[in-house]
């Protein structure tokens, strides 16, 4: 308390005296004590105790030297002392990190120039062993953005990573980057990026020179009051890699996907992912909308994938996040899935692959490096669960947003010695022409292609007709028929695709749709036929009561005579009697019957899922939630899941914040998870606080029971 009083006094002085000078900073002191007991049935318990004390000091000077010239200098020092005691075996670890940073930038409406230098020096000492790693980086940028002319951005990055003894890593990288955007006319955009990277892996005596040229063209327009619309894009990437080596070490070659894909789903084996361009764009700072944090209410698996359009070989994925998660990085488990199956009727078959747990995490780049055995597929995804509150310190990471995913194929340096050149092209063209306005009869033309050199060209051409007609106030109908042909990895492909729907809205509160769809397809001389019919109903039965009911059946037959019948049904109802209570009931069932062809007799598989969710907000700042789920399946063990939690925040405003969180999950397979987390935060100045937290965690399985008691406190003083 004496130290805290002295720091408060210093904070007040610094705020008054240095605030006008552009000096800011903070001091943070963090203490964590964890007592963890692991006990197997019939066995003795193993107790683990850990103590961590962290000191973090940071100061920043931000000065405007001239109206457009700004100078920024900052420095931070972190000291972390950790002691771990496992059944009397004690290990002490001390980590110190020094991070100076200097930045000079000039900004005008016409151009922008910047030069920056940063250093991260980390020293870790444990059990008499000491290792110091350093990363020095220099970045310079010149950006010219004239009005109505192409902009031009030139960047240079020098990066040196090494340990002081030069035993584990010593790598120097020089990167030159040229980027330009140009809009010559309103509907046309041109883009170019050139990259040259020279990497010297000194310990393996390997040098890699990589040159990448990427050009893109985007065009869209419409004519005759939007009766005709056209959109198209073309993308070409040329990559040249030249390696010289003594034969040891590895070389990583980046692989470029065509689409980024993602979705939250607990059925990763057959889920169809949604398009997510932000997942594969070059910006590794902005969120791609995928949260891996411990925020309650969404525990579904995160599916993050890529579509390469052609079968592609990779063995490394990098998942970048928006914050340093070194403290909880090892809690994530990653599973690789692959697929060559085209998504259809809401189903795509994914083949599960290797599990990587834990993945290598880099605090410097804020990314996970997921290395796995080589896979060759068109679609590749990685699946992980969001951070569980049963993980120690998880409550400090409510939000961890994924900012990007990148793919590489790593090969031994001896295999890629010499020069390799490859070119990748892809593009799309989309034309829509309204032929008859009264029935919205529209001609549709779509062309998609991808070509690798060396490699083959794959493409799909689609010609179709579609219509929509409002017959009267209640009924409307639509239909589409298209002929597709092209070239795929398996061979030539032809397909007739058709669909029709009838929608009825007899009441403002009721909507019903009947959908029929089908596909006759031939790939490399092998044919298959798929037809399905589904009925969807949505209704507001009464104010505060919404219901939905849907069901249907699909039939598929391939050239071997194998027949598959898939029947699906789902129903749900939501009751909102008042603004404080919400009750949701949900049921979903699927039955698949397979016969003929190579199948002996007839096989039947089914999945049945029922769930009830209840949320109550009895008073302001109190939230109660409970759910009960029943799962029955012929392909996996049946189970029941009971989950309930409580959130209480009695003082959401003001300087004193108190929160209490309780959650418990009980499964019929004799597994149980429980978390009790009270937290108190006191803002003794608008930007300085004292935070006290306690976590009581329990994870019980038939094989092991883990109980954890974690005490932590943080003092942060900002000036």
320-377, pLDDT tens digit by residue?
999 888 888 989 999 999 998 777 656 688 999 999 988 988 876 789 999 999 999 9
Q: Is the pLDDT of residue 252 over 80?
A: no
Q: Is the pLDDT of residue 45 over 90?
A: no
DSSP letter for each residue of 137-150: EEEEEEEE--TTS-
406-431, pLDDT tens digit by residue?
999 988 877 766 788 889 898 999 99
Better-scored residue on pLDDT, 628 or 596: 628
How large a percentage of the chain has pLDDT more than 90?
Answer: 66
Q: Is the pLDDT of residue 469 over 60?
A: yes
Q: What is the pLDDT of residue 535?
A: 96
Q: Is the pLDDT of residue 455 over 80?
A: no
* C-alpha–C-alpha distance, residues 658 and 682, integer Å: 9
Element housing 12 (H / E): helix 2-18
Better-scored residue on pLDDT, 80 or 342: 80
**Residues linked to residue 260 through DSSP beta bridges, in sequence order:** 306
* C-alpha–C-alpha distance, residues 235 and 239, integer Å: 13
Q: What is the pLDDT of residue 416?
A: 66
Q: What is the pLDDT of residue 593?
A: 93
Least confident stretch, 10-14, 509-513, 522-526? 10-14
**Sign of dihedral through CA atoms 388, 394, 395, 396?**
negative
551-587, pLDDT tens digit by residue?
999 999 988 888 999 999 999 999 999 999 999 999 9
Please work out, in degrees rounded to the nearest 5, the angle formed at the alpha carbon of residue 219 by the alpha carbons of 217 and 224: 165
Residue 387 makes CB contacts below 8 A (sequence gap 6+) with 292, 293, 294, 328, 331, 332, 394, 397, 400
DSSP letter for each residue of 274-313: EE-GGGTSS-SSS--SEE-S--TT--PPEEEEEEEEEEEE
153-197, pLDDT tens digit by residue?
999 999 999 998 888 889 999 999 999 999 999 899 999 999 999
* C-alpha–C-alpha distance, residues 666 and 673, integer Å: 7
Q: Which residue has the tokens 């689409």?
A: 259
DSSP letter for each residue of 550-605: EEEEEEEEETT--EEEEEEEEEEEEEEEETTEEEEEEEEEEEEEEESTT--SEEEE
Better-scored residue on pLDDT, 284 or 140: 140
Give the start-to-end residue ranges of the domains of the chain.
169-247+417-455, 261-412
* Confidence grade of residue 259 (pLDDT, cut at 50, 70, 90): confident
Q: Is the pLDDT of residue 10 over 50?
A: no
Name the pTM for this structure: 0.78
Q: What is the pLDDT of residue 297?
A: 56
SS3 annotation, 72-101: EEEEEEEEEEEEEEECCEEEEEEEEEEEEE
* Beta strand spans in 471-509 (E): 475-488, 491-507
Least confident stretch, 52-56, 204-208, 621-625, 669-673? 204-208
Q: What is the pLDDT of residue 16?
A: 40
CATH topology classification for 261-412? Jelly Rolls (2.60.120)
């Amino acid at each position: 308390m004496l130290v805290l009083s002295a720091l408060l006094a210093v904070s007040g002085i610094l705020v008054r005296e240095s605030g006008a000078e552009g000096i800011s900073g903070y001091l943070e002191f963090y203490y964590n004590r964890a007592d963890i007991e692991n006990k197997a049935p019939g066995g003795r318990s193993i107790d683990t105790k850990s103590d961590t004390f962290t000191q973090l000091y940071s100061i920043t000077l931000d000065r405007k030297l001239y109206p457009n010239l700004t100078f920024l200098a900052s420095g931070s020092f972190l000291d972390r002392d950790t002691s771990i005691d496992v059944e009397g075996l004690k290990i002490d670890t001390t980590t110190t990190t020094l991070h100076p940073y200097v930045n000079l930038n000039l900004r005008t409406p016409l151009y922008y120039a910047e030069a920056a230098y940063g250093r991260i020096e980390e020293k870790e000492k444990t059990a008499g062993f000491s290792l110091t790693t350093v990363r020095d980086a220099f970045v310079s940028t010149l950006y010219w953005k004239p009005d109505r002319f192409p902009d031009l951005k030139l960047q240079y990055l020098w990066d040196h990573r090494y340990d002081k003894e030069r035993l584990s890593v010593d790598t120097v990288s020089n990167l030159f980057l040229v980027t330009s955007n140009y809009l010559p006319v309103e509907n046309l955009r041109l883009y170019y990026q050139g990259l040259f990277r020279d990497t010297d892996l000194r310990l393996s005596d390997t040098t890699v020179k990589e040159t990448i040229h990427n050009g893109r063209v985007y065009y869209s327009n419409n004519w005759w009051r939007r009766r005709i619309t056209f959109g198209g894009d073309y993308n070409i990437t040329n990559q040249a890699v030249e390696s010289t080596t003594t034969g040891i070490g590895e070389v990583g070659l980046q692989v470029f996907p065509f689409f980024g894909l993602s979705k939250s789903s607990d059925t990763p084996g057959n889920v169809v992912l949604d398009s997510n361009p932000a997942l594969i764009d070059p910006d590794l700072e902005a969120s791609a909308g995928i949260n891996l944090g411990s925020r309650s209410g969404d525990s579904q698996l995160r599916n993050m994938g890529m579509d390469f359009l052609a079968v592609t070989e990779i063995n490394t994925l990098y998942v970048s996040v928006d914050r340093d998660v070194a403290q909880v990085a090892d809690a994530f488990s990653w599973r690789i899935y692959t697929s060559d199956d085209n998504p259809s009727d809401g189903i795509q078959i994914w083949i599960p692959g290797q599990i990587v747990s834990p993945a290598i995490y880099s605090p410097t780049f804020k990314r996970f490096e997921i290395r796995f055995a080589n896979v060759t597929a068109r679609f590749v995804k990685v699946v992980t669960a969001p951070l569980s509150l049963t993980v120690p310190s998880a409550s400090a990471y409510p939000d961890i947003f994924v900012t990007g995913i990148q793919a590489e194929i790593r090969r031994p340096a001896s295999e890629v010695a010499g020069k390799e050149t490859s070119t990748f092209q892809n593009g799309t063209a989309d034309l829509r022409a309204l032929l008859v306005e009264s029935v919205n009869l529209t001609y549709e033309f779509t062309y998609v292609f991808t070509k690798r050199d060396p490699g083959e060209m794959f493409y799909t051409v689609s010609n179709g007709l579609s219509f929509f007609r409002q017959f009267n106030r209640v009924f409307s109908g639509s239909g589409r028929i298209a002929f597709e042909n092209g070239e795929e990895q398996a061979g030539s492909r032809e397909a007739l695709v058709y669909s029709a729907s009838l929608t009825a809205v007899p009441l403002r509160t009721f909507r019903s749709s009947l959908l029929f769809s089908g596909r006759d397809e031939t790939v490399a001389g092998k044919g298959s036929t798929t037809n399905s019919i589904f009925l969807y109903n949505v209704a507001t039965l009464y104010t505060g009561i919404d219901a939905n009911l849907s069901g249907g059946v699909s039939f598929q037959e391939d050239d071997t005579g194998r027949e598959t019948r898939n029947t699906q049904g789902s129903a749900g109802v939501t009751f909102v009697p008042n603004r404080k209570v919400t009750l949701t009931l949900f049921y979903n069932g699927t039955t698949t019957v397979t016969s003929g062809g190579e199948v002996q007799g007839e096989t039947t598989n089914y999945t049945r899922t029922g769930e009830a969710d209840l949320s109550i907000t009895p008073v302001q700042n109190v939230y109660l939630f409970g759910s009960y789920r029943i799962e029955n399946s012929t392909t996996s063990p049946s189970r029941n899941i009971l989950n309930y939690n409580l959130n209480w925040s009695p003082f959401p405003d003001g300087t004193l914040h108190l929160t209490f969180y309780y959650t418990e999950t009980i499964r019929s397979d004799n597994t149980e998870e429980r978390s009790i987390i009270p937290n108190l935060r006191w803002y003794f100045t608008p930007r300085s606080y004292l935070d006290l937290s306690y976590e009581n965690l329990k994870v019980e399985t038939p094989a092991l029971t883990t109980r954890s008691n974690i005490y932590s406190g943080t003092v942060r003083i900002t000036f």
